[in-house]
Structure 1
């Protein structure tokens, strides 16, 4: 499961993805429209800023906007930034691998084999789904 913090981050980013290009949105507006506690949102936006996903503008007309195109920011990238590794087991993580303490051997581990399939499928979805996809900016090709 993802944390509430990650859900809020994805909601805030999706709202920014739907905004007019170059038009910042202020934290009180994001918090109100996405039903996110303002103080918690402030922390989340700082994390997203440090992670290179958003930028902030000061002043009366200030606020937050995406630093990169919505099509270049994936759900997987956001989840890794906010929650850490997305793998269900530490031995399956691409970014924070570590051997399971109680494991006799990864090649013989039935649990690892099953969850490796889960991790591969999950990563495929998360790393191929962008904010633009979630915001409805990208249309499906005609079949």
Structure 2
């Protein structure tokens, strides 16, 4: 599952993408419209700024905006920045690989083989979708759907 921090980062970046080219967006607006605690949002936007995805300007007319066009930022890139990896287990990570503790040899592990397939399919999907792509909300699950 994605951490709360990663979900907040995605929503903040979507908000900035929606306002791309319109000038700086104030932190208070992002926090209010996306239901993100302002103090936490400050930390998130600072991290995104350090990796070159967000730019900020201080002052009365200041705020935040995307450093790149929304078409140049994939959801895969964003999640990798926030999580460090798309993999569900450390031994399946392409960029943050670690051997699992208390496991069989990697070359013999079927769980790792499965998780590599899941990681690759996840990366393919998330790297194909850009902040510029339209994503329409879908209705929430009903109680009947949750029980099935």
Name the residue aligned to 1:118.
118
Pairing 1:40–2:65 present = no
Name the residue aligned to 1:55.
55
Name the residue aligned to 1:15.
15
Runs of 4+ in 1 over 3 A off after TM superposition: none
Task: Work out whether residues 24 and 63 of structure 2, in 8 Å CA contact, stay in contact via their aligned partners in 1.
Answer: yes
Shift of 1:117: 1.2
When structure 1 is superposed on structure 2, of 109-118 and 126-135 the one drifting more is 126-135
Unpaired segments ≥5 residues, structure 1: 137-143
Task: Work out whether residues 75 and 131 of structure 2, in 8 Å CA contact, stay in contact via their aligned partners in 1.
Answer: yes
Instruction: Answer 1 or 2: higher relative contact order, Cα 8 Å, separation at least 6.
Output: 1
Task: Work out whether residues 14 and 134 of structure 1, in 8 Å CA contact, stay in contact via their aligned partners in 2.
Answer: no
Shift of 1:102: 2.4
Structure 1 segment 58-77 matched on structure 2, within 5 A? 58-77=58-77
Shift of 1:101: 2.3
Distance (whole Å) between structure 2 residues aligned to residue 20 and residue 91 of structure 1: 37
Task: Work out whether residues 20 and 66 of structure 2, in 8 Å CA contact, stay in contact via their aligned partners in 1.
Answer: no
Shift of 1:43: 0.7
Shift of 1:111: 0.7
Name the residue aligned to 1:3.
3
Distance (whole Å) between structure 2 residues aligned to residue 127 and residue 89 of structure 1: 19
Unpaired segments ≥5 residues, structure 2: 137-148
Scaled by the length of structure 1, what TM-score is found?
A: 0.88
Q: Secondary structure at the match of 2:133?
A: helix
Task: Work out whether residues 48 and 54 of structure 1, in 8 Å CA contact, stay in contact via their aligned partners in 2.
Answer: yes
Count of residues in Structure 1 that have an aligned counterpart in Structure 2: 136
Scaled by the length of structure 2, what TM-score is found?
A: 0.85
Name the residue aligned to 1:140.
none
